Structures are given as C-alpha cells and as structure tokens.
Amino acid sequence: MATQGGSLKSTSLNGVKVYTGSSVHRSLATWLNPKKLRSRRKDTSYQQRVELIQDLWFETATTKIKATPDGEYLIASGIYPPQVKVYELRELSLKFERHLDSEIIDFQILDDDYSKLAFLCADRSVCLHAKYGKHYSLRIPRFPVYAF
C-alpha cells in the first residue's frame, strides 16, 4: 500500500513503513560526459532534488561530521557507544563503521580520502587509523587546549 502526502511518499509492507524523499528518483550515471554534467547544473529539478544517505544515525548523538578533501566520503563520529562511520557519497551508503574504546572529542582527516585518520579521544589518547583499522595509539600527558 502506497500513500503520498506532499512530496514524501511512504510504502507499507508487513507493517514496516518505508519513506521515499522524492517521488521521482533519478540517478546520475558516472559515464556521462562532462558537457552533459555541466548542463545538469542549470536544470531546476536536478538542483532541487533531495538525496538521503542510508544509515546516517547514531544510538545517542553525533559529535562531529566532516567531509574528505576529495569530496567522496563523509566521516561522522558518535557517542554511546563511541564509534566512527564512513559514508560513500557516490553510493549514498555506509562504507564501514569502527568502534573505539573512548569517546571521540575531535578528529582530523590526514589524507585526501578516508585512508588516514587521527582521533583525539576523551581518555587523552590520539588514535591513528588507516584503511585496515587501528594503526597506533599514543597517550598525551595533558588534555590539549586546541584539539586539531
């Protein structure tokens, strides 16, 4: 059963509601030539579209959200449990998530993509992460005045 109220469409299947942000979902093919992509900038329906990122939520709260310098990924940190989630913006989906031992105060992206990250944690530790996971953790003597 599908109902529509305004521009938000909901579908119910076995008592589970699924909401669609726009009634017409258009995906932009990656193989389009650059001239065609530039012409899309002037298209009002393309400019006014809303695309939702799947699984962009945390149990309690999100503390920081940053985009990578190349614009391909979105990195978000949350608390209770302390964790980091990396989203791929091209696919609008969750790439991976990692759980940490302590709450993340701040983090810095050290490379153009998500491959190198530094996390300042509440237990005065700096955790360095690579693509494969936790690389190194060091403890600092005093909590810094400026995070990163």
- pTM beyond cutoff 0.95: no
Report which residue type is found at 73.
Answer: Y
More confident residue, 148 or 124: 124
Letter string b/e over residues 73-93, b meaning 16 or more CB atoms within 10 A of that residue's CB: bbbbbbeeebbbbbbeeeeee
SS3 27: coil
53-148: CATH topology is Thrombin, subunit H (2.40.10)
Q: How confident is the model over 128-146, as pLDDT tens digits? A: 999 888 898 898 888 776 6
Burial (CB count <10 Å: 0-12, 13-18, 19+), residue 117: buried
The per-residue pLDDT for range 18-47, each reduced to its tens digit, is 666 554 444 445 555 677 767 777 777 766
Residues 56-106 have pLDDT tens digits of 778 888 888 888 888 888 899 988 888 999 988 887 888 888 988 888 888
Q: How far apart are CA 83 and CA 92, in angstroms?
A: 19
- How far apart CA 20 and CA 64 sit, in angstroms, is 26
Q: Where are the domains of the chain?
A: 1-24+31-52, 53-148
Burial of residue 124, with CB atoms counted within 10 A of its CB: 0-12 exposed, 13-18 middle, 19 or more buried: middle
Integer Cα distance of 66 and 115 in angstroms: 14
For the record, the structure tokens of 43 come out as: 């298209």
Higher pLDDT, 4 or 80: 80
